[in-house]
Structure 1
Amino acid sequence: MATQYPLILVDASGYLFRAYHALPKLTNSRGEATGALVGVLNMLRKLIDAHDPEYIGVVFDAAGKSFRNDLYPQYKAHRPPMPDDLREQIQPLQDIIRAMGLPLLVVPEVEADDVIGTLATQAAEQGIQTLISTGDKDMAQLVGEHVTLVNTMNDTRLDPDGVREKFGVPPERIVDYLSLMGDSVDNVPGVPKCGPKTAAKWIGEYGDLDGVMANAERIKGKVGENLRAALDQLPLSKRLATIKRDVPLDLRPTDLAPAEPDRETLRTWYERIESRKLLATLNAEDAAPEASGSGERQDGDYDLVLTQESFDAWTTRLEQAELFAFDTETTALDYMVAELVGVSFSVEPGQAAYVPVAHGYMGAPDQLDRDAVLARLKPLLEDPNRLKVGQNLKYDMSVLARYGIRMRGIAHDTMLESYVLDSIGRHDMDTLTRKYLDRETVHFEDIAGKGAKQLTFDQIPLEQAGHYAAEDADVTLSLHRTLWPRLEATPSLAELYRDIEMPLVPILSRIERTGVRIDRDLLAQQSRELTRRIGELELAAYAVAGRKFNMGSPKQIGAILFDEQGIEPIAKTPKGAPSTSEDVLEQLADQGHALPRLILQHRGLSKLKSTYTDKLPQMLNPETGRVHTSYHQAVAATGRLSSSDPNLQNIPIRTEEGRRIRRAFVAEPGHKLLAADYSQIELRIMAHLSGDARLLAAFAGGQDIHRATAAEILGLDPEAVTGEQRRSAKAVNFGLIYGMSAFGLAKQLGIERKAAQNYVDRYFDRYPGVKDFMERTRAKAREDKYVETLFGRRLYLPEIDHSNQGRRAGAERTAINAPMQGTAADIIKRAMIAVDDWIQREEPKVRLIMQVHDELVLEVAEDAVEDTARHIRAAMESAARLAVPLVVDIGVGDNWEEAH
């Protein structure tokens, strides 16, 4: 069981100030100040004990000024000097933290926020869940899918929804919010009299800081006057408030594994600062006895099964049980290489057992033979009438498949029960146990350790492993008995869970284990070609620049563009230098400047090479020669599947170089890849839900919907619609689904906001059913606090009637979009079930190997392509009955790019 937050980043300077001001000003017998120091150490220990991270960085502000002082000399000018009794505690505190084995970072010329922002951004790029421990509101700008804040003083957390709840704006608008308010503590100028509510209101109405500034004349009263007077200084405020995310560091997040503590040094320090609590904790750790004994009974009704007699008794109980919880313990998270170490099961809450079969540490007691245990369990596990429940049973299915066991009779999965009840939030066992059972469980790191020295499960002593494994089965059964009645209370949710989510579990397991074949040689060739092309771009850039330079150096690029070539800068960095960000380079390239375009092309190709052509071959399974992704059912709130390692949804398709990567996804010899993709499914769902006569007629007549929309709102014949007009109509069609405002549409199309608003108004004039549907949906969402898909999936909207206009508008956009995205997700899942049913029933020469967005990809024997295409089209087009036809586009090729 992995820790919820593998990486924790600590704002240690914030800790220090808060501890100093919040706690008593203690001294030791020598008269040395210790209060803030002891307070920080206790906060650190509490944080680490609560989360047991694999990586941790404790970050302090460096002494002296930062780049923000160069940008604005008055920055933090009003802050009083640090008290002497606080300053003298910093060095001892840092020495103790180092002795604890915790990585400590102090980077000159930047603030701790910037170091944390850089590490959090790097971690998010690697998909590492990160917890930032801070009380600084500025850090809310870092919150995202992979980054959460925690305030250890009151143990409150901020995820993206929490940021919206607290500040009234999403994380990506926090910098704009701070810029408008300013900061009297740091002496950051803002708009006088603009407080949190006003800042959030403006951003909610006008989108962002640029929108607020652009509409300054429309804001009435004294605060409007203040805003207009502050317009010139707001860009500076934004630069001061923006946390850097690209600080040059000598390490990466995964270099922050804690080391073994220096206990003697800690003892010396704890005695000097005279902290009885810290000494007692250290003594308790030193005195903790090694786990011992080999009795089979643990914690009353938890059995450690080491004898054939005990195993026989438990299998008899399993045979007699109407339903039992089942779990596996393995050597790895990768289902393709994980070896089975033991199995656990529970038949009644509080009654569970662990059967170890492969613990191999020195001194491990004799265990039952793995093959014999599996042979005895196989009939039970494969019997569809012996009902099982588990937490993420797809993983257990895949592991057992490696041992020749086809697990059936999967009745329930607690992860999916929770997900269907309420898709928002986490659905891991620890979270569910706390939420529904009000109970804390033993964490994997509690028994295995963490970091580079973490033990695999086969090396964990049975006394600890047995309790941990049996508890997992026990908790799973208890969770099911809590969650299933709640699902049954809403028949539509129970039906969705029973008919869509649960049948999908074995299908996804098969898809994952099948994998997709990769042409390693082709990827190597593409890497070589990209290397050559990257080199050519460098030479071309040198020629335009008139000299060689480092194309990865913003400083050198800025010197050439703005100093040597005299190009007018568009924006500045936090240090006040002309910016060379991607947005800036795009604008300069659009103005006709050659060098920015070359730099952008160089960056794009370099990213393709490092992310795909170089990395994909490293993901190949050596036994199968294929890539095996992991699909996730309980992540996306709308019901869509996601995938990781690799993330198939992110393989590029818009550029030629990106499409070439899909050519490396190939069929086995004698086979073809068949890609079946729903055509404009979300727009078809909109037509069905809205019942708009013109939309229904356009789809019924097989028209190009974007051309038909352009013709309707412009009053033209479809044949007269230009490509540009069709593109604009497409932006409107999809923009409305995703809740895009006229402001966003104007930005996307590069037109004035008024023109964009006219476009939207004309659209609703011609498609009144769509407008009526949106208004009805908003009203019903406000009444029910949730929206539903056609198949009963719910997405809850706690902010639909929020007093903050921006947050309420965000919930309303979700209310419009979620039924379409969620229904599309339900339809593709139903299609997968129908396709798999045909494959399992008829056993054609076909394998389902990928699901990406609204597309299914199959590997088909060459002589079965025509018959397969007919069956797949029929299955997918009949996956739902809509008021308009579902249309499936099918392509066939030797590789994914050809088929798509």
Structure 2
Amino acid sequence: MSKAPLVLVDGSSYLYRAFHALPPLATSKGMPTGAVKGVLNMLKSLRRQYPDSPFAVVFDAKGGTFRDALYGDYKANRPSMPDDLRVQVEPLHAAVRALGYPLLCVDNVEADDVIGTLARSSAAADRPVVISTGDKDMAQLVDGHITLVNTMTGSVLDIPGVKEKFGVGPEHIIDFLALMGDKVDNIPGVPGVGEKTAQGLLTGIGGGLKELYENLDKVPALAIRGAKSLPAKLEEHRAMAFLSYELATIKIDVPLDVEVDQLMCSEPDRDALVEIYTELEFRSWIEDVERDARRAGEELAPVQEPVAAIEVRYETILDQARFDVWLEKLEQASLFAFDTETTGLDAQRAQLVGISFAVEPHEAAYIPLTHSYMGVPEQLDRDTVLLALKPLLEDPRKLKVGQHAKYDMNILANCAIGGVQENGIEVRGVAFDTMLESYVLDSTATRHDMDSLAFKYLNHTTIKFADIAGKGAKQLTFDQIALEQAGPYAAEDADITLRLHQLFQAKLDAVPSLMPVLQDIEMPLVPVLARIERQGALVDAKLLGIQSVELGEKMVALEREAFEIAGEEFNLGSPKQLGVILYEKLGLPIISKTAKGQASTAEAVLAELAEQDYPLPKVLMQYRSMSKLKSTYTDRLPEQINPRTGRIHTSYHQAVAATGRLSSSDPNLQNIPIRTAEGRRIRQAFIAAPGYRLLAADYSQIELRIMAHLAKDEGLLHAFQNDLDVHRATAAEVFGVELAQVTTDQRRSAKAINFGLIYGMSAFGLAKQIGVDRKQSQAYIDRYFAQYPGVLEYMERTRAQAAEQGFVETLFGRRLYVPDINAKNPALRRGAERTAINAPMQGTAADIIKRAMVAVDTWLADSGLDARVILQVHDELVLEVREDLVEQIGTEIRPHMSGAAQLDVPLLVEVGVGSNWDEAH
């Protein structure tokens, strides 16, 4: 029977790679955790592949090694370990040990040498070895028994793989490194000898470093660039080459006090894992450990000293007397929390099942109304309860708090008391929403769902819906769940909402600038969005069907064109087949690789190849665009028409985008392309009802106007205050021509500069966009800043403020945190600086459109005009307006939108009208 392979993990290599390759994570207290999570994920995955193998995770130890004694500058180029990584080492070691994985860390010995010793001794005993690493030095260990795997790229290196990757076999990897050196470890090598030269020397001579130096006279005859001058260079640096050889050689004879048979994984220490994962806030992993413990019949120890459990008083109301008691409590309360339970997540289709309330912390009640499983106890009459609650819920003086209250407001508005749709409950007085309170406090700190907020702020693990309803195809709807389980779950929702609100209220009070953002922008918008969602948009399903057929025909034609270019048929949706066609058959340049080391066929790569005029990528880009439009919109939109209303009802999200911008889903209306004819045709399917027209009101260049206001730059202010074409004005300044002499191409370039600088575009990015070289692009940027010095001052000032305080602000006081602004990783820091510059503009624009929506909604409600907002997309509002009111609405909406903010430049609102969205826009 063959032996299970010994698995050796280069823990130090993966620690660094996980730190630099994966998105940064941190606990609510700011402790970095991303590298720990990345390495542990890799280890768990690897262990699942080799469940019966001896297994060891090997880390570098503190202190010097024999290499430092040989060469004082060994690894001198390596920067010291970043602080954000250093603090993760001990938690990682602790987690590895708690998982039951053997961990080796030998004083004064590098991990490579420990791995090399164990690998070669095991191979000598005829046991296969798998080394998990991303370090090229390890390739010298590969032989008939030893292979390398890289779990971050999916690559496997055996003897042929090493030859293919490095151009030399494993037996010459040390020679290869000795010649070309290793910048990472500061192994010097021979100056001027790079990868290709080293390969040519070794393969040309047919031996290693020793044979090369014995045959320097043969080097000039080799087909290597600069071969004639190489012997002298090699001779001059002979000593350094052999020193490099010694530095690059992995030791295989380190004295170890551990045998391979001792490297078997033990059972995990679940108590320790829970404690570690709690500290690191790896919540889902805590649940996994707890589930495994239950399966094993194991009782976990409490993570901390046991404290007295908080007593909760939850009740399920099934009789009129208790309902009357709670109705009186609600009447007397200065504020209460409420929550609905329903049959689904779509607020326009789900049915109300029950409603819960909380007046005091730890005390809540659930009123079931339509549970319908076999043996369900008798419930109070649905309509009787709703009619009793209606005056209370509709009273704006009775203050209420919800968690994502917009959903509950829509459910109650659609609840059709007595079977009459118009008899729903129009909830008023929702003064607070815990989702929005959390979002305003810090949009980037956490998810804003109740489970996440309860765990983070209350250290409370809520009852999960899946725990009481099951998962997958057999998951129950809430009306099928027994009251014994449904009651505590629903009551807890109201209780947690109230407790979170009390905590958030204190946090918001401590930052006075944030309360107006919540009270004057976010909360007034909730009922406005609820009404827009309920109103919905009318679409022409027949037109969408025609478009679907046409898109399908175009896709077939594009597929045929792709086959002709490729010279064969292939699956356009298969990355593997596409990679073979593009890179092996057609020989296109490889721009990027996947995590598994394969040549990428991602959209960004195809777009770059298409820009280089390669025909197949152009066709593929068109095909993918058509396919996305068809699957996402023309096929899907008709299916999303609500049978009750005949309209499409998108859902708007206030607490998703970090900048404050609204997003939408089901369908996502933000991503319908308007620069292509096919995208505009989809907008044509959004139509006005008979007797109505669509009116689109759109802010013009709002972020540039905000930039002018924030930067106080005289040139930009003058352009906007005098209603100049700002892109033409910029072109005149940057290109040094009269305004009237600006060409179309110059205006286009100036537009790219104006918008590019807002989004932190580099000279390289701008050069690519406007089709000039980087030097010319940088010259344009320099001229721009020379003409608009206030913009440069704003950028520098904003970067400094963000670095000092960790956040930037909109004009209205919204804080936009920039977690990586002081990151040690330069790429992360530069990205954070770009975000810091752009966020006040994007965030202020978001605040303005939200304020405008509230103002327009109030005006329409007060005036009684037959018009309503049906869509909000980016900086645009789309209204459905009675035909005879179009001119009046078009005139009167402008001041309501332009008055949403007072800037140093006018806010220009452009209005269009049509029978469909495309015409109106």
**TM-score of the pair, normalised by structure 2:** 0.68
The one-letter code sitting in structure 1 at the alignment partner of 2:641 is L
Match of 1:507 among 521, 525, 528: 528
Distance 1:558 1:712 in 2: 46
Distance 2:855 2:482 in 1: 46
Q: Would you say the 8 A contact 2:435–2:450 is kept in 1? A: yes
User: Where does residue 311 of structure 1 map in the other structure?
Assistant: 323
Q: Give 3-state SS (helix, strand or coil) of 1:602's partner.
A: helix
How many angstroms does 1:450 deviate by? 1.4
- How is 1:298-337 mapped onto 2 (pairs within 5 angstroms)? 300-337=312-349
User: Where does residue 409 of structure 1 map in the other structure?
Assistant: 429
User: Where does residue 378 of structure 1 map in the other structure?
Assistant: 390
Q: Would you say the 8 A contact 1:393–1:413 is kept in 2? A: yes
Q: Tell me: CA distance 1:527–1:222, structure 2 relative to 1, closer, same or farther (3 Å).
A: same
Distance 2:803 2:467 in 1: 44
Distance 2:451 2:710 in 1: 38
Q: Give 3-state SS (helix, strand or coil) of 1:787's partner.
A: strand
User: Where does residue 64 of structure 2 map in the other structure?
Assistant: none
Deviations 1:572-618 (A, max 9, x none): 86799987665565555555554543343233222222222111111
How many angstroms does 1:73 deviate by? 12
Q: Tell me: CA distance 1:753–1:398, structure 2 relative to 1, closer, same or farther (3 Å).
A: same
Distance 1:382 1:754 in 2: 64
Q: Would you say the 8 A contact 1:307–1:367 is kept in 2? A: yes
How many angstroms does 1:811 deviate by? 2.4
How many angstroms does 1:13 deviate by? 3.5
Q: Give 3-state SS (helix, strand or coil) of 1:648's partner.
A: coil
Match of 2:820 among 799, 808, 827: 799
User: Where does residue 194 of structure 2 map in the other structure?
Assistant: 229
User: Where does residue 78 of structure 1 map in the other structure?
Assistant: 141
Distance 1:304 1:392 in 2: 23
User: Where does residue 479 of structure 2 map in the other structure?
Assistant: 458
Q: Give 3-state SS (helix, strand or coil) of 2:667's partner.
A: coil
Q: Would you say the 8 A contact 1:11–1:112 is kept in 2? A: no
Q: Give 3-state SS (helix, strand or coil) of 1:537's partner.
A: helix
Q: Would you say the 8 A contact 1:517–1:666 is kept in 2? A: yes
User: Where does residue 698 of structure 1 map in the other structure?
Assistant: 719
Q: Tell me: CA distance 1:412–1:579, structure 2 relative to 1, closer, same or farther (3 Å).
A: closer
- How is 1:479-628 mapped onto 2 (pairs within 5 angstroms)? 479-542=500-563, 550-552=571-573, 569=589, 571=591, 582=603, 585-586=606-607, 589-590=610-611, 592=613, 594-628=615-649
Q: Give 3-state SS (helix, strand or coil) of 1:478's partner.
A: helix
Match of 1:342 among 332, 351, 354: 354
How many angstroms does 1:457 deviate by? 1.0
Q: Tell me: CA distance 1:578–1:453, structure 2 relative to 1, closer, same or farther (3 Å).
A: closer
Q: Tell me: CA distance 1:644–1:75, structure 2 relative to 1, closer, same or farther (3 Å).
A: farther
Q: Tell me: CA distance 1:360–1:560, structure 2 relative to 1, closer, same or farther (3 Å).
A: closer
Which is further off, 569-578 or 399-408?
Answer: 569-578
Q: Tell me: CA distance 1:379–1:518, structure 2 relative to 1, closer, same or farther (3 Å).
A: same
1:14 aligns with 2:35: no
User: Where does residue 155 of structure 1 map in the other structure?
Assistant: none
Deviations 1:681-705 (A, max 9, x none): 0000010111111101111111111
User: Where does residue 166 of structure 1 map in the other structure?
Assistant: none
Distance 1:657 1:423 in 2: 35
User: Where does residue 770 of structure 1 map in the other structure?
Assistant: 791
The one-letter code sitting in structure 1 at the alignment partner of 2:380 is L
Q: Would you say the 8 A contact 1:345–1:473 is kept in 2? A: yes
1:787 aligns with 2:808: yes
Q: Would you say the 8 A contact 1:416–1:633 is kept in 2? A: yes
How many angstroms does 1:549 deviate by? 5.3
The one-letter code sitting in structure 1 at the alignment partner of 2:332 is Q
How many angstroms does 1:490 deviate by? 2.2
The one-letter code sitting in structure 2 at the alignment partner of 1:21 is A
Q: Give the structure with higher Rg (CA).
A: 2
How many angstroms does 1:360 deviate by? 1.1
Deviations 1:681-740 (A, max 9, x none): 000001011111110111111111111101101111122222221121111111111111
User: Where does residue 777 of structure 2 map in the other structure?
Assistant: 756
Q: Let me know the Cα RMSD of the aligned residues.
A: 4.1
Q: Which has the higher contact order (CA 8 A, sep 6+)?
A: 1
How many angstroms does 1:538 deviate by? 3.7
Distance 2:267 2:507 in 1: 53
- Identity percentage of aligned residues: 57
- How is 1:187-206 mapped onto 2 (pairs within 5 angstroms)? none
**TM-score of the pair, normalised by structure 1:** 0.70
Q: Give 3-state SS (helix, strand or coil) of 1:883's partner.
A: coil
Distance 1:812 1:572 in 2: 26
User: Where does residue 685 of structure 1 map in the other structure?
Assistant: 706
Distance 1:841 1:319 in 2: 29
Deviations 1:212-259 (A, max 9, x none): xxxxxxxxx98899999359999xxxxxxxxxxxxxxxxxxxxxxxxx
- How is 1:24-423 mapped onto 2 (pairs within 5 angstroms)? 78=141, 229=194, 281-282=294-295, 300-403=312-415, 404-423=424-443
How many angstroms does 1:459 deviate by? 1.3
Distance 1:787 1:778 in 2: 9
The one-letter code sitting in structure 1 at the alignment partner of 2:407 is Y
Q: Give 3-state SS (helix, strand or coil) of 1:881's partner.
A: coil
Q: Tell me: CA distance 1:386–1:662, structure 2 relative to 1, closer, same or farther (3 Å).
A: same
Deviations 1:146-204 (A, max 9, x none): xxxxxxxxxxxxxxxxxxxxxxxxxxxxxxxxx9xxxxxx99999965559xxxxxxxx
User: Where does residue 866 of structure 2 map in the other structure?
Assistant: 845
Q: Give 3-state SS (helix, strand or coil) of 2:141's partner.
A: coil
How many angstroms does 1:460 deviate by? 1.2
Distance 1:354 1:894 in 2: 47
How many angstroms does 1:436 deviate by? 1.7
How many angstroms does 1:547 deviate by? 6.1
How many angstroms does 1:546 deviate by? 6.1
Q: Tell me: CA distance 1:81–1:368, structure 2 relative to 1, closer, same or farther (3 Å).
A: farther
Q: Give 3-state SS (helix, strand or coil) of 1:689's partner.
A: helix
The one-letter code sitting in structure 2 at the alignment partner of 1:836 is D
Distance 1:334 1:494 in 2: 30
Deviations 1:423-474 (A, max 9, x none): 1131111111122212222111121111212111111111111111111111
The one-letter code sitting in structure 1 at the alignment partner of 2:895 is A
Q: Give 3-state SS (helix, strand or coil) of 1:859's partner.
A: strand
Distance 1:647 1:225 in 2: 58
How many angstroms does 1:780 deviate by? 2.4
* Count of aligned residue pairs for this structure pair: 692
Q: Give 3-state SS (helix, strand or coil) of 1:329's partner.
A: strand
Q: Would you say the 8 A contact 1:785–1:796 is kept in 2? A: yes
Q: Would you say the 8 A contact 1:569–1:579 is kept in 2? A: no
Distance 2:387 2:616 in 1: 67
Please list every run of 5 or more consecutive structure 2 residues that lacks an aligned counterpart in the other structure: 1-39, 59-95, 102-126, 156-165, 167-172, 200-265, 271-290, 299-309, 416-423
Q: Give 3-state SS (helix, strand or coil) of 1:389's partner.
A: strand
Q: Would you say the 8 A contact 2:514–2:813 is kept in 1? A: yes
Q: Tell me: CA distance 1:483–1:280, structure 2 relative to 1, closer, same or farther (3 Å).
A: closer
1:871 aligns with 2:892: yes
1:665 aligns with 2:630: no
The one-letter code sitting in structure 1 at the alignment partner of 2:141 is H
Which is further off, 485-494 or 704-713?
Answer: 485-494
Distance 2:570 2:644 in 1: 44
Distance 1:514 1:224 in 2: 72
